[in-house]
Amino acid sequence: MKKTFSPVSASLVLTALVFFTVLGITPTSVEANDITIKGSTTVLPIAQITAETFMDQNPTVNISVQGGGSGVGIASLIDKTTDIADSSRKIKSQEVEKAKAAGVNVNEIIVAMDGIAVIIHPTNKIAALTRGQLKDIYTGKISNWSELGGSDAKIVVISRDTSSGTFESFFELALDKEKVRADALTTASNQAVAQIVAQTPGSIGYVGFGYLSSRVKDIPVDGITCTKPTIVSGAYPLSRPLYMYTDGSPAGVVKKYLDFVLSAEGQKLVEGEGFVGLN
Q: Which of 118-122, 143-147, 186-190, 193-197 has the lowest mean pLDDT?
A: 186-190
For residues 30-50, average pLDDT: 89
Q: Does residue 233 share a domain with residue 123?
A: yes
pLDDT of 4 reads 43
Residue 31 scores a pLDDT above 70: no
Q: Please name every residue paired with 62 in a beta bridge, in sequence order, or none if there are none.
A: 34
Residue 227 scores a pLDDT above 80: yes
Residues 240-274: tens digit of each pLDDT: 999 999 999 999 999 999 999 999 999 999 999 98
For residue 277, is it within any domain?
A: no
Residue 119 scores a pLDDT above 50: yes
DSSP letter for each residue of 185-205: EEESSHHHHHHHHHH-TTEEE
N- to C-terminal Cα distance for the chain? 58
Residues 156-190: tens digit of each pLDDT: 999 999 888 899 999 999 999 999 999 999 998 99
Nearest to 131 by CA among 276, 208, 236, 241: 236
For residue 39, is it within any domain?
A: yes
Residue 122 scores a pLDDT above 90: yes
Q: Does residue 195 share a domain with residue 125?
A: yes
Q: Does residue 173 share a domain with residue 153?
A: yes
Task: Note whether 99 and 108 are within 8 A (CB).
Answer: no
For residue 2, is it within any domain?
A: no
Q: Does residue 230 share a domain with residue 121?
A: yes
Q: Compute the mean pLDDT over every residue in the chain, rounded to the nearest whole number.
A: 90
Task: Note whether 98 and 78 are within 8 A (CB).
Answer: yes
Q: How many domains does the chain have?
A: 2
Amino acid in the structure at residue 207: V
For residue 72, is it within any domain?
A: yes
- H-helix or E-strand spanning residue 231: helix 228-233
* Predicted confidence band of residue 100 (pLDDT cuts 50, 70, 90): very high
For residues 17-36, average pLDDT: 54
Nearest to 44 by CA among 74, 70, 80: 70
Q: How far is Cα 73 from Cα 62, in angstroms, rounded to an integer?
A: 19
Q: Which of residues 22 and 131 earns the better pLDDT score?
A: 131
Quote the domain boundaries for residue 83: 7-113+241-272
Percent over 70 (pLDDT), the chain: 89
Q: Does residue 151 share a domain with residue 45?
A: no
Q: The CATH number of the domain where 31 resides is what?
A: 3.40.190.10
* CB proximity list for 56: less than 8 A, separation 6 or greater: none
Nearest to 231 by CA among 211, 208, 265: 208
Q: What separation in angstroms does the CA of 197 have from each of 120, 157, 187, 201?
A: 6, 9, 11, 7
Work out the number of other CB atoms within 10 angstroms of the CB of residue 197.
Answer: 27
Helix axes 252-262, 44-57, angle to 10 degrees: 110
Secondary structure class of 207 (helix, strand, coil): strand
Amino acid in the structure at residue 142: I
For residue 142, is it within any domain?
A: yes
* Predicted confidence band of residue 210 (pLDDT cuts 50, 70, 90): confident
For residue 170, is it within any domain?
A: yes
Residue 68 scores a pLDDT above 80: yes
Q: Does residue 70 share a domain with residue 38?
A: yes
Residue 148 scores a pLDDT above 70: yes
For residue 250, is it within any domain?
A: yes
Q: Does residue 215 share a domain with residue 139?
A: yes
Q: Does residue 235 share a domain with residue 129?
A: yes
- H-helix or E-strand spanning residue 72: helix 70-78
